[in-house]
Structure 1
Amino acid sequence: MDKIATVKWLDNLCLVGQTSSGHAVVMDGPPDIGGQNLGPRPMEMVLLGLGGCTAVDVIMMLQKSNQAVVDCHIEVSAERAETIPKVYTKIHVHYVVKGRELSEAKVARAVNLSSEKYCSVSKMLEQSAEVTHDFEIVELS
């Protein structure tokens, strides 16, 4: 198995994660449990991973289908279990795709293919959570 990431404890609940590609991110806990709020929570990083993974899929598919995409942002909302381990039980991914003369059918296809086939983070998370999605298109002049 390849080593993909390392996580180093700094102090209190502050951690630095480093990936095999050389990028680092600070994670921290909230002050009420001893953190200093210096970075996202580890569980928030999971949702960021989902948003990033699916955004790459959707943008690449739309570009390959000659869509004039100017902007794309992903809004991820989630609910967690009440008891430990407080896993995500419901996750909703909302895509906002901006561009010129975008085909609704092509955007829908890209979103569905990412969710159902290509986004590995989504496929992992759907093992423990209900993952849903929708999208909106913002037409630019």
Structure 2
Amino acid sequence: MTHATASIGRDLYRTQIETGAGHRLVADEPVSLGGADGGPAPYDLVVAGLGACTAITLRMYADLKAWPLASVQVQLRLARENNEMVVERLLHIEGLDDAQKARLAEVAERTPVTLTLKSGLQIRTTLA
């Protein structure tokens, strides 16, 4: 399925990431945490993935229904509430009526990344 490699050297927190499809990106920490702010921080990447999955899924659904969806903007905020991490997701949908927008909001709750994050994820760590 999906895979990626993250590599870090001596450049403080700057991390090179390569995905299985050969896409490359950089992650870093902000200056306030000792990084150089050379790329998104790890939690930024998590919410970015959720946002991308949401936007793509809503576009696919609207296309399948032949709805005149002009655009979708997904704003995300990761926050700590009562010792729990919570993602607040705000959808800006253009080109649809209220019923269609409401349906897309329902679909957003069942995107693949949404369901993965809501259900939790096992992580197995081994040494090479």
> Is 2:39 the partner of 1:35?
no
Which amino acid in the other structure matches residue 115 of structure 2? K
Instruction: Determine what percentage of the aligned residue pairs are the same residue.
Output: 25
Q: Hey, what's the Cα distance between the residues in 1 that align with 2:97 and 2:43?
A: 34
Cα 1:16/1:82, change in 2 over 3 Å: farther
Residue number in structure 1 paired with 2:60: 60
Q: Where do residues 1-141 of structure 1 align in structure 2 (5 Å cutoff)?
A: 2=1, 4-10=3-9, 11-80=11-80, 89-99=85-95, 102-115=96-109, 117=110, 119-127=111-119
Instruction: Find the aligned partners of 2:115 and 2:77 in 1 and give their Cα distance.
Output: 17
Alpha carbon RMSD of aligned pairs, Å?
A: 2.1
Give the match's secondary structure for 2:74: strand
Q: Is the 1:62–1:107 Cα contact (8 Å) retained in structure 2?
A: no
Letter in 2 for 1:90: V
Greater strand fraction, Structure 1 or Structure 2: 1
TM-score by length of 1: 0.74
Q: Which moved more, 1:51-60 or 1:63-72?
A: 63-72
Q: Secondary structure at the match of 1:69?
A: coil
Return 5+ residue gaps in structure 1 as ranges: 129-141
**Alpha carbons 1:29, 1:41 under 8 Å: kept:** yes
Deviation at 1:112, TM superposition (A): 0.8
- Which structure exhibits the higher relative contact order, with contacts defined as CA atoms closer than 8 Å and separated by 6 or more residues? 1
Aligned to 2:123: none
CA deviation vs aligned residue, 1:31-86 (integer Å, no higher than 9, x gap): 23321010110111000000000111111111221211222111011213687xxx
Once residues 13 and 65 of structure 1 are traced to their aligned partners in structure 2, the CA distance between those partners, rounded to angstroms, is 45
**Counterpart Cα distance in 2 of 1:50 and 1:27:** 17
SS for the counterpart of 2:36 is coil
Aligned to 1:135: none
Count of residue pairs the alignment pairs up:
119
Separation in structure 1 between the aligned mates of residue 8 and residue 82 of structure 2, nearest angstrom: 27
